[in-house]
Chain A
Amino acid sequence: MQNLKTDVLVIGAGPAGSMTAKWAAKHGARTLMIEKRQEIGSPVRCGEGMSKAWLPDVGIKPSSRWINVEVEGARIYSPSEKVLEINEKHAGNEVGYVVERDSFDKQLAIDAANEGVDVMLKTAAISLLRDDGHVVGVTAKQSGQTFEIRAPITIGADGFESQVGRWAGLPTNLQLRDMDSCIQYRMTNVDSDVRYCDFYLGKVAPGGYVWIFPKDEGLANVGIGVQVSKLHNPADVKMYLDTWIAHHPGYAKGKKIDMVGGGVSISPPMKQTVANGILLVGDAARMIDPLTGGGIANGCIAGKIAGEVAARAVTANDTSKEFLQAYEKGWRAKLEDKLYRNWLAKEKLVTLPDETFDKIIDALQDVKLEKLTVLNILKAVHTKYPEVTKEFEAFL
């Protein structure tokens, strides 16, 4: 395998990587995206629910190729299963989609490729190349052969299990309390409702929640995330989900047709995501929303900025971390306050006993929640239970 050269090298072809690569190419940079798997988007490691308001901003066109269901709202269940139902249908909105993640990822990679990005599959970065304190590409491996890819800008979009950031000395390490371990079954013959994504809070899923994301009539992703610091025995996560299912007849009668797992960071935003010649984006940059566990939107929003800044850095022939601050500032302006607020909210919520969740959900029954956003819900909690939101009321 011959050594390669490019302007912008993107490691990882998930949504954040494809989005970064596409926008780098759109701004004139010769861009190469490498993916260690043989198939982009597969195996899926995702609950597959996402909001939709952000899609036009980053240039993603909704398509039936990757949308299973358009949902109208959410139902949040307290431990004694009082339910807070938020439906935006009457306001003429659909709040989000349940998607076919592998098809979604492939479509974003196609969009990138059509913009001129080169894509290499089964190609893994195994270490960084450095020159005079700058990252200048990677040593890569493809089909057992090792070679170099040189690039003035390298982008780590290598997901939750990112190694690129750690190689670059960027502080992506997670504490046990900063991660939820997740598992999910796709189940058929269940009593899910295609209009709603459902969330079950409390000790059914310590430090996380159980989710039901509908894929079709009677077909849903049934999953759970549990904070790793709250796990004690091997396979506890699976045990929690199996227990939840066993206690819910509408799901206990279902049949499992698929099983996926994964890690989700629930940490505060990273202090630094750039170094000389390199930047991190998406799950690799710990941009997952620590309250909802959602990572696609943030990864794509940051990816667009990363691509633009990377292309500008190449044109300006300046790949110093000072120049790359434009990316650091850009993504923080869009995401940081929300990430920080939701992290504070999550820190509080994981300490609450089941009785408090019951009281809060009960108290919210008479609040008219028009729009389904985390901010709206937290504001409503604030009006009813200011002691719960005290630590982060400045962000409400």
Chain B
Amino acid sequence: MPSKKTLHIESSGQICIYCGACVGICPLNCIYLDETRITFDEKVCTRCEICVRACPVGAIAIG
């Protein structure tokens, strides 16, 4: 059941090191890495938070 929470990916480069760890683990294949920018498909994302755990630097949060 998708929750109403929002996924925040800090991908301006402040925290994100655009390594692609979240892209590879996303069970719905809805995160994308374009060179140095991460985007995700909000309609597909179920806020499962797996990417939050996989991110080595803490650039992803749910709130």
Q: Which residues from chain A sit less than 8 Å from chain B, CB to CB?
A: 36-38, 43, 45, 124, 159-163, 166-167, 173-174, 176, 179, 181-183, 228, 231-235, 237-238, 259-263, 265
Residue in chain B with minimal CB distance to A284: B24
Determine whether the beta carbon of A262 is less than 8 Å from that of B25.
no
Interface residues of B, count at CB 8 A: 25
Q: Would you call B58 and A234 a contact (CB within 8 A)?
A: yes
Is A43 a contact of B36 with CB atoms below 8 Å? Answer: yes
Q: Does B61 contact A (CB under 8 A)?
A: yes
Is A238 within 8 A of B24, CB to CB?
no
Q: How far is the CB of B32 from chain A (nearest CB, A)?
A: 8
Q: A160, B57: Cβ atoms under 8 Å?
A: no
CB neighbours (8 Å) of A234 from chain B are 52-53, 55, 58, 60-61
Q: Once the chains bind, are A260 and B19 in contact (CB under 8 Å)? A: yes
How far in angstroms is the closest Cβ of chain A from B31? 8
Query: B58 near A159 (CB under 8 angstroms)?
Result: no
Closest A-chain residue to B30, C-beta based?
A163
Besides A36-B35, A181-B21, A265-B24, 16 more A-B contacts (Cβ < 8 Å) are: A38-B35, A124-B34, A160-B20, A161-B20, A163-B29, A176-B53, A179-B24, A182-B19, A183-B19, A183-B56, A234-B58, A235-B58, A238-B56, A259-B17, A261-B21, A263-B54
- In the assembled complex, the CB of B15 is this many whole angstroms from the nearest CB of chain A, namely 8
Decide if A262 touches B36 in the complex (CB within 8 Å). Answer: no
What 1/0 flags go to B19-62 for Cβ under 8 Å of A? 11101110101001111100000000000001011111110110
The reply to whether B57 and A183 form a contact with Cβ atoms under 8 Å apart is yes
Within the complex, what minimum Cβ distance (angstroms) separates A241 from chain B? Answer: 9
Could you name 28 residue pairs across A and B whose Cβ atoms are closer than 8 Å?
A37-B35, A43-B36, A45-B20, A176-B25, A176-B53, A179-B24, A179-B25, A181-B54, A182-B19, A182-B21, A183-B19, A183-B56, A228-B53, A228-B54, A231-B53, A234-B60, A235-B57, A235-B58, A238-B57, A238-B58, A260-B17, A260-B19, A261-B19, A261-B56, A262-B21, A263-B20, A263-B25, A265-B24
Contact of A36 among B19, B34, B55 (CB under 8 A): B34
Closest CB in chain B relative to A38 CB, distance in Å: 7
Give A260 to B21 CA distance when docked, in angstroms: 11
Expressed in whole angstroms, the Cα–Cα distance for A233 and B54 within the complex equals 10
In this complex, what residue of B is CB-closest to A231?
B53
Query: Which residues from A are CB-within-8-Å of B56?
Result: 181-183, 235, 237-238, 261
* A37 contacts across to B, CB distance below 8 A: 35
Residues of chain A within 8 A (CB-CB) of B25 are 174, 176, 179, 228, 263
Which of B24, B35, B61 is most buried by chain A, counting CB atoms within 10 A of its CB?
B24
